[in-house]
Structure 1
Amino acid sequence: MNAYQYNNKQIWKVILIVFAAAIGIASLWYTNYLVKSLSQSERTKAEVWAMSTRSIMTMPDVDDDFISFIYAVRDSLTLPAIITDKEDKIIFWRDLDSTKTNIKLEDSLSSRLSYDPIYFERELNKMKHAHQPIILTLENGEKWSVYYHDSKALRNLKIFPIIQLSLIAIFLIIAYTVFNFIKRTEQNLVWVGMAKEAAHQLGTPISSLMGWIELIKMKFDAEDDEVVNEMERDVSRLEIVADRFSKIGSRPILSNHNVYQVIENFIEYFKVRTSEKITFTLTGDNHVEAMLNVPLFEWIIENLLKNAVNAIDTEGQIVVSIKENIAKEEIFIDISDTGKGIPKSNFDTIFHPGFTTRQRGWGLGLSLTRRMIRYHKGHIYVKESEIGKGTTFRIILKSNLNYEPTQV
């Protein structure tokens, strides 16, 4: 998968996320529309209740049937409400906590029904913040203010879409995580099976090549022939590669090694198989040691050096620097090239499986590299890069300080 295909895949993910967001927004919009409609309906009900209450309290001499009708209208409306006079004193209330509205107060002159002033003050403040008051003007010019709460159904409707979308989001996240995990597990099993089969298939021809090289040495007395020796090194390298593939899926065994020597040995092998116009330099602390699996660690270095070579058009320089951070017991391995560089937007993306900037690349090198570094309890990242000037990758490993320095 090249960069274009990878970006297309990312675009489709974004489109799906936007589509899901659009559904959520549409749901919220429609619920908000319903809330506004019901809110207007409840305000109308509150106005009817307020007028019926005013009629009962201010028209005591009207026909009994009419009064009964007014009572029926008033009692059919169930909204928490409070009516206050112009001095903000409570005249009447509706559907509030009954335990707070029938407290019997005793004084020396009389006994009367009253209410809990703290509770009512709190409820009145809530109602004032919830809605604009309904103003009732009496025949004598006095004005009453009617405050009310939303009904319980309307309050539940307001929070319902949030709960609904939250549950849907949680379900989608869990489903995506589970299916992604299953897919990755299946892919890993396929890759492990293919790798082991490739290692098995390579075993026979590699053994044959080793035998042919020994035969050439004996027949042509070529023990010291440089070309034959390099061929032998390449076949030995093939053995190492086959061994790597055979161990994919197994837990790597780590042992203590000198980091500088391991990298130096591989660079000596690698540089004679690349262009002479590319120079290799190894610098830094040559005594630091770490717990390594050498075949895997060489694979890490190989992938990074190959990427560096591919980034250099014709000629350039690759520098590998090793530095120990004693305070943190870490080893910094910086691999720098003078290639074309990496855009900052791709600093993390390049480690994703399938991402590549090359026309025929598979996009697995850096993904495998990061995975193998994690086997070594380390991590890798792009330390710096500039388009047209080059890139530096940094590997961080835990150093092994419990060693005896070797005398030279």
Structure 2
Amino acid sequence: MNPYEHRKRWKYLLLAFAVVIASGSLLYTQYLVKNLVKAERTRAQIWAQSMKQILSSDDDDNLNYVFSVRDSLSVPAIVVDEKGDFKWAKGLDTTKTFIPTVASSGFDVKNGQKYDPKYFRDELAIMKSQHEPIKVVIFHNTHWLVYYKDSLLITQLRAFPYVQLTVITIFLLAAYTAFSSSRKSEQNQVWVGLAKETAHQLGTPISSLMAWIELMKEKFNAENDPLIAEMENDVKRLEIVADRFSKIGSKPVLEPQFVYEVIEDFVNYFRVRVSNKISFEVTGNQNLKAGLNIPLFDWVLENLLKNAVNAIEGTGSIKVDVSESKAKKQIYIDVTDTGKGIPRTKFETVFKPGYTTRKRGWGLGLSLTKRMVVNYHNGNIFVRDSEVGKGTTFRIVLKSMTKDAPEPVVVA
């Protein structure tokens, strides 16, 4: 398992653990709420029965006891008769509810304070949506309905786990973002330091190789020897590589370049250094310009072409096509191979550091490629299309710097 897949598995395990904790918190809270709801139902039933006792009892001592029991129950409630007319209320906003007086015939609403009908209707609708009413038989087959709603404690307890989980999630996201940013900053510093040190270390042997080549030319009179010429090309390539590493961490200078020409130059260098079973083709518009840093952009092409070569088992072809979207003012560079292809689920994964399908690969090639395209050339790169067993097309998107020009020359 490569490092990226290993980290991905740990992320899923931690996410699953977080889900278990959240689910446990929610289930336990619901268990507590369920028990409290039962307790409040019992309170409401006792309160409803207390009304019947108040209306039917003439014993002052008994009434005083019933009143004390009733007043100790804090469940908000509304009592209506068979017709739906309000008879009594408790636990509501006292500025909008009536306080009926107790007459010999029972509750005298007319002598009570005025109340807000809309407020009562709204509260009654809430109570009807939360609980079934409690039916209380008063006298002569007359009954009242007692509606009640959840207390403030239950309402808060229902919302508490969601508030708690939201706060914890926000905290964890903030902490993860901070630590991730700090880690990436440290990784960038290490990468920049390693790159510059590599460039410095390459400088001495490259200079020595250049000197040895000049001595070979002079000693063997081989100024025009094709083998020595190729050696010179490789040494120059090493100089370019060292220059690439020395530029890491600093903002590269982008200059307007003909994209087709830059690609063709690199492909001509690259094709003679791989198997002749693989053919190369560069097609498209030759007049398109984009801001490029040639050493870094050559590195992008090198990584893509190397991946394409590794994906081809035996004979195959690699095609680089340059096109333009005038509406978006963008240049498209499509690198297509006839290799083994990439599963659709891996289209984003291939650009992650550490992801590789090769036993000895470091999984940095495409990660660095994306960094150089996005961060240094203000462009984008993605897998445009791929099919397992048939091949892959990577697309590079760059901002066009092409001005009004004559009709483009298209090479087929």
Specify if TM > 0.5.
yes
User: Which residue in the other structure is 2:274 paired with?
Assistant: 274
Q: Structure 1 residues 111 and 389, CA, compared in 2 at 3 Å: closer, same or farther?
A: closer
Residue type matched to 2:187 in 1? Q
- What secondary structure sits across from 1:98 in the alignment? coil
* C-alpha displacement of 1:102: 4.1
- What secondary structure sits across from 1:336 in the alignment? strand
User: Which residue in the other structure is 1:69 paired with?
Assistant: 65
Q: Which runs of 5+ in 1 are unaligned?
A: 105-109
1:52-91 correspondence to structure 2 within 5 Å: 52-59=50-57, 61-62=58-59, 64-91=60-87
* C-alpha displacement of 1:98: 1.1
Residue type matched to 1:32 in 2? Q
- Alignment partners' CA distance in 2, 1:336 and 1:394: 9
User: Which residue in the other structure is 1:177 paired with?
Assistant: 177
User: Which residue in the other structure is 1:376 paired with?
Assistant: 377
1:98-247 correspondence to structure 2 within 5 Å: 98-102=94-98, 113-247=113-247
- Alignment partners' CA distance in 2, 1:406 and 1:325: 15
* C-alpha displacement of 1:402: 2.9
* C-alpha displacement of 1:316: 0.5
- What secondary structure sits across from 1:274 in the alignment? coil
The answer to which of 354-363 and 22-31 deviates more is 354-363
1:113-157 deviation line (CA, Å, top 9, x unaligned): 332211111111111111111111234222221101111111111
User: Which residue in the other structure is 2:8 paired with?
Assistant: 10
Residue type matched to 1:193 in 2? G
- What secondary structure sits across from 2:237 in the alignment? helix
Say how many residue pairs are matched.
399
Q: Structure 1 residues 402 and 217, CA, compared in 2 at 3 Å: closer, same or farther?
A: same
The percent identity for this pair of structures is 54
User: Which residue in the other structure is 2:402 paired with?
Assistant: 401
1:328-367 correspondence to structure 2 within 5 Å: 328-367=328-367
* C-alpha displacement of 1:403: 6.8
- What secondary structure sits across from 1:143 in the alignment? strand
* C-alpha displacement of 1:327: 2.4
CA contact (8 A) 2:3 2:354 kept: no
Q: Structure 1 residues 219 and 80, CA, compared in 2 at 3 Å: closer, same or farther?
A: same
1:316-363 deviation line (CA, Å, top 9, x unaligned): 000111112222211111110010000000001101111111111111
Q: Structure 1 residues 377 and 407, CA, compared in 2 at 3 Å: closer, same or farther?
A: closer
- What secondary structure sits across from 2:319 in the alignment? strand
CA contact (8 A) 1:311 1:340 kept: yes
* C-alpha displacement of 1:7: 2.2
Matched, 1:94 2:90: yes
* C-alpha displacement of 1:57: 2.1
Q: Which runs of 5+ in 2 are unaligned?
A: 101-109
- What secondary structure sits across from 1:296 in the alignment? helix
* C-alpha displacement of 1:8: 2.9
Q: Structure 1 residues 126 and 83, CA, compared in 2 at 3 Å: closer, same or farther?
A: same
- Alignment partners' CA distance in 1, 2:271 and 2:252: 27
- Alignment partners' CA distance in 1, 2:182 and 2:111: 75
1:176-197 deviation line (CA, Å, top 9, x unaligned): 1111111111111111111111
1:79-126 deviation line (CA, Å, top 9, x unaligned): 21011111111111112111112499xxxxx97533221111111111
The answer to which of 114-123 and 149-158 deviates more is 114-123
- What secondary structure sits across from 1:304 in the alignment? helix
1:49-88 deviation line (CA, Å, top 9, x unaligned): 11112211232x12x2211111110111112101111111
Please, what TM-score do these two structures have when normalized by structure 1?
Answer: 0.94
- Alignment partners' CA distance in 1, 2:120 and 2:400: 70
Residue type matched to 2:160 in 1? F
* C-alpha displacement of 1:9: 2.3
- Alignment partners' CA distance in 1, 2:53 and 2:262: 98
User: Does 1 or 2 have the higher relative contact order (CA < 8 Å, sep 6+)?
Assistant: 1
- What secondary structure sits across from 2:95 in the alignment? helix
User: Which residue in the other structure is 2:18 paired with?
Assistant: 20
User: Which residue in the other structure is 1:107 paired with?
Assistant: none
The answer to which of 112-121 and 343-352 deviates more is 112-121
Residue type matched to 1:42 in 2? E
CA contact (8 A) 1:103 1:116 kept: no
Residue type matched to 2:87 in 1? I
- Alignment partners' CA distance in 1, 2:378 and 2:346: 24
Q: Structure 1 residues 407 and 278, CA, compared in 2 at 3 Å: closer, same or farther?
A: closer
CA contact (8 A) 1:354 1:364 kept: yes
Residue type matched to 1:86 in 2? E
Please, what TM-score do these two structures have when normalized by structure 2?
Answer: 0.93
- Alignment partners' CA distance in 2, 1:187 and 1:96: 61
User: Which residue in the other structure is 2:306 paired with?
Assistant: 306
- Alignment partners' CA distance in 1, 2:111 and 2:242: 100
Q: Structure 1 residues 205 and 57, CA, compared in 2 at 3 Å: closer, same or farther?
A: same
1:163-214 deviation line (CA, Å, top 9, x unaligned): 0000000000110111111111111111111111111111001000000001
